[in-house]
Amino acid sequence: MSVTIVPVGLLRPMLADDRLALAEAAGKTVAAVLADLKIDPDLVAMVLINGRQASKDSVLDDGDTVKLIPFVGGGRR
Amino acid sequence: MYGYGGSILRVNLTSGEIRREPLPQELARDYLGGRGFGAFLLYREVPRGTDPLGPENRLYISSGPLSGLLVAGAGKCDVTTKSPLTGGYAGASIGGMLTAEMKYAGIDVIAIEGKAARPTYLYIDDDRVELRDASAYWGKGSLTTEKALKEALGESFQIAAIGPAGEAGVAYACISHDFGRQAGRGGVGAVMGAKNLKAIAVRGTRSIPVAQLERYRELARAMYAACKAAPGLEAWQKYGTAGVTTWANEIGAFPTRNFRSGFFEDHSGLSGETMRAAIVVTDKACFGCPSPCGKYSYVRKHGVHVEGPEYETTALIGGNCALASIEDVAYANYVCDELGLDTISAGNVVAFAIECYERGIIGKADTGGLELRFGDVDVVCTLLRQIAAREGLGAVLARGVKHAAETFGRGSEAFAMQVKGMEMSGYESRHAPSMLLSYMTCDVGAHHNRSWAITYDIARGRDAVTPDKAAKVIELQHIRPLFDCLGACRLQWVELGLDLGHYAPIVEAITGLPRSWEDLLTISERVWNLTRLYWFREVPGFGRAWDAPPPRTYLEPVETGPTAGKRTSREAAERLLDMYYEQRGWDRDGRPTPAKLAQLGLAGL
């Protein structure tokens, strides 16, 4: 098992996949995973773990789905 | 006319005269609808120097070409008037069902002038329009009034009402509708109250003619499907704007203790998930919305129902007054809703009063013995009630934070968090130049909704004070208020990432007028320049100085949190303005040049 990372919106181009499976993320915090993936945490406005808002200090479990949501705020189409 | 209700409903409360005029085609072509109609009519019809609370001021309630149609987010209505808070342009947006119902009654604009001799409500049932006695409702809360009118007239009527704050002329009184939606900012509720107009009740049963019916249906289905498939829908629908709270603290932008800080140490008690678990009963949508972001809540601790709190309320009444409990914030939200007070301005003014008390600028003699402190919901609610009644300290606070600072003096002007006389909304911006510029140049005062640019500061680099930041603010100031002209919500684009390319085609299919997205943006730029001209016309000495940020911005560094120690220098603020004016085609005082006005078809105004 692993942790699945789902980047949304402007975070999508930063990762290789729509759904990224990370084999060694269980036991790490969301913040640590963001650092591993070189994603600026300030761009991640909300973290959902299994559909529920979580904090960047939340520790991940095997099998978790983590949605990373930016607040784009708008711009050109 | 395809896409429109077809008429302006003129209501003269002094004479009692009511008449419908056909909507001029050129008005629809050149100003689109909603905020565009409001700005044009305000400029044209309300004489220079009019008292905002006098009978000559007019209130324009306008739908747009998308309103009431099967377009995702087609539920927004504009309310425009001369502001009793700022003396300049006020344009507020309200969701719910009102805009659709107006269209079904064949009405694009309700244009109200004069003053009724007695408390009155405007009754519209398709073609039957009457002014009715509202004395049974005068003095009652806006939620209570809406419920009572629905019981009296039937559920099919849509009701917009003011509360006691609007009746009393509080400078930031709002208009309420659909049990929790407001036209919030700029004192639009006070204008209604000054006219003795307690409420508007609308029912409409007509359909709206559409130019290309099949194309419109196809495009509308595609928009809806795109919204439902959006990866951002899950979080947006679940938490709505409350999802912003945690992030705002993480980036040091959460107003705390009268904007002394951008970080509230107890913010976890205010988060979207905490709120959902503690009080949310159901999600709530406006007309035509596939992404219900409204949250209808029951606050067991205080025994009240309220829609919300939205992020702005959690920011200005929560963090800014240091209330750590979402139940307390929700209760204060309910108190504001019943009284008919803009939660943003109210929270800002209350926090200002608390800081003045802490600094000894005001004391118990001013507060009638009440000790003001941060973190106390009873203090907050006592002040809210005093404001609505214009009693005690409320008599001063009811006129807004700028006036309160002028009254209290003793250096308090430095931390009155306002621009152009409007209280700043929910983003501490000393380390966010784009957002700061947004607040400085927003055309109603320090409101975030025209140009929510803080994400650009995060993405681009917070220290940068560069021309692209001004360009981003201008771009957003054209795109976002365009939705206010269209009569639709922008949050399907902002929060779900709906492609902007959906909009021009569906506007064309509905109206039959071929216009590109750029054509629509030109209309928005036209309206932006028109409201700027309005300020120059109405406010003596208006110019660059009125775009200045509150002095706290450059005098004091942020006290705590991720942006601790940061501020924006006065020089940087001036540089932002210079870049902004230059890119806008305005002169160094911020006045639109003749060339810019000619380009937009505004020459000769």
Q: Is the peptide bond before B290 cis (omega within 30 degrees of 0)?
A: no
Residue with tokens 């003045």: B356
Separation between Cα atoms, residue B508 and residue B516, nearest integer Å: 9
Query: For the residues B160-177, what does the mean pLDDT come to?
Result: 98
Q: Largest Cα–Cα distance in chain B?
A: 69
**How many C-beta neighbours within 10 Å does residue B343 have?**
28
Separation between Cα atoms, residue B179 and residue A60, nearest integer Å: 40
Cβ neighbours of residue A5 closer than 8 Å, sequence gap 6 or more: A15, A19, A20, A21, A22, A25, A33, A37, A66, A68
Collapsed DSSP state (helix, strand, coil) of residue B422:
strand
Are A53 and B271 within 8 A, CB to CB?
yes
pLDDT in tens, B407-437: 999 999 999 999 999 999 999 999 999 999 9
| Contact assessment for residue B100 and residue B64, using Cβ atoms and an 8 Å cutoff | no
pLDDT in tens, B57-85: 999 999 999 999 999 999 999 999 999 99
Q: In the prediction, which pLDDT does A72 show?
A: 64
Question: Nearest-CA residue of chain A relative to B243?
Answer: A46
Separation between Cα atoms, residue B338 and residue B39, nearest integer Å: 29
Query: For the residues B223-249, what does the mean pLDDT come to?
Result: 95
Closest partner CB to A46 (pick from B247, B479, B497): B247
What is the residue-averaged pLDDT of chain B? 97
State yes or no: ipTM above 0.95: no
Residue whose C-alpha is closest to residue B399's, from B415, B414, B386: B386
**How many C-beta neighbours within 10 Å does residue B196 have?**
20
**How many C-beta neighbours within 10 Å does residue B15 have?**
9
Collapsed DSSP state (helix, strand, coil) of residue B472:
helix
Each residue's pLDDT, cut to its tens digit, for chain A (77 residues) gives: 699 999 998 888 888 888 999 999 999 999 999 999 999 999 999 999 999 999 999 999 999 999 999 976 554 44
Query: For the residues B357-364, what does the mean pLDDT come to?
Result: 98
Beta bridge pairs of residue B181: B177
Collapsed DSSP state (helix, strand, coil) of residue B82:
strand
Interface test with A, best of B429, B451, B458, B468 (most A CBs within 10 A): B458
Separation between Cα atoms, residue B504 and residue B510, nearest integer Å: 10
> For B226, how many CA atoms within 13 A lie in the half-sphere containing its CB?
20
| Contact assessment for residue B398 and residue B390, using Cβ atoms and an 8 Å cutoff | yes
Say if residue B147's pLDDT is above 90. yes
Q: In the prediction, which pLDDT does B396 show?
A: 98
Say if residue B329's pLDDT is above 80. yes
Q: In the prediction, which pLDDT does A75 show?
A: 47
- The ranges assigned to domains in chain A are 3-69
Question: DSSP state, B316?
Answer: I
Burial class (CB in 10 A: 0-12, 13-18, 19+), B312: buried
The secondary structure of B546-563 as a DSSP string is GGPPPTHHHHS---SSTT
On whether the pTM is more than 0.95, the answer is yes
Class of the domain covering A3-69: alpha beta
Q: In the prediction, which pLDDT does B349 show?
A: 98
| Contact assessment for residue B182 and residue B163, using Cβ atoms and an 8 Å cutoff | no
Q: In the prediction, which pLDDT does B73 show?
A: 97
B433 is written with which tokens? Answer: 């130049």
Residue whose C-alpha is closest to residue B487's, from B22, B72, B24: B72
Q: In the prediction, which pLDDT does B352 show?
A: 98
Q: Work out whether strand B280-284 and strand B294-299 pair parallel, antiparallel, or are unpaired.
A: antiparallel
Closest partner CB to B499 (pick from A44, A55, A77): A77
The shortest C-alpha distance from B490 to chain A (Å) reads: 9
| Contact assessment for residue B59 and residue B81, using Cβ atoms and an 8 Å cutoff | yes
Question: DSSP state, B406?
Answer: H
Question: DSSP state, B592?
Answer: B
| Contact assessment for residue B436 and residue B554, using Cβ atoms and an 8 Å cutoff | no
Say if residue B119's pLDDT is above 80. yes
| Amino acid, single-letter form, for residue B35 | R
Question: DSSP state, B23?
Answer: P
Residue whose C-alpha is closest to residue B290's, from B224, B220, B221, B216: B224
Query: Percentage helix, strand, coil, to 5, in chain B?
Result: 45, 15, 40
| Amino acid, single-letter form, for residue B509 | A
Contacts of A77 in chain B (CB under 8 A): 499-501, 517
Contacts of A53 in chain B (CB under 8 A): 235, 238-239, 243, 246, 271-273, 276
Are A8 and B232 within 8 A, CB to CB?
yes
| Contact assessment for residue B284 and residue B95, using Cβ atoms and an 8 Å cutoff | no
Question: DSSP state, B123?
Answer: E
pLDDT in tens, B191-208: 999 999 999 999 999 999
The shortest C-alpha distance from B273 to chain A (Å) reads: 6
The shortest C-alpha distance from B507 to chain A (Å) reads: 17
Domains of chain B: 7-203 (3.60.9.10), 231-422 (1.10.569.10), 429-497+516-599 (1.10.599.10)
Closest partner CB to B494 (pick from A43, A72, A76): A72
Separation between Cα atoms, residue B427 and residue B262, nearest integer Å: 8
Q: In the prediction, which pLDDT does B605 show?
A: 78
Sheet containing B294-299, strands listed edge to edge, beginning at the edge strand earlier in sequence: B280-284, B294-299, B304-307
Q: In the prediction, which pLDDT does A76 show?
A: 47
CA trace torsion B129, B132, B138, B142 (10° rounding): -30
Closest partner CB to A74 (pick from B244, B250, B476): B476
Say if residue B136's pLDDT is above 60. yes
Percentage above 90 pLDDT, chain B: 99
Q: In the prediction, which pLDDT does B428 show?
A: 98
Name the strand (E) or helix (H) holding B201. strand B197-203
Are B231 and A67 within 8 A, CB to CB?
yes
Q: What are the backbone dihedrals phi and psi of residue B256, each rounded to the nearest 5 degrees, phi first?
A: -135, 125
Cβ neighbours of residue B476 closer than 8 Å, sequence gap 6 or more: A73, A74, A75, B438, B450, B451, B452, B453
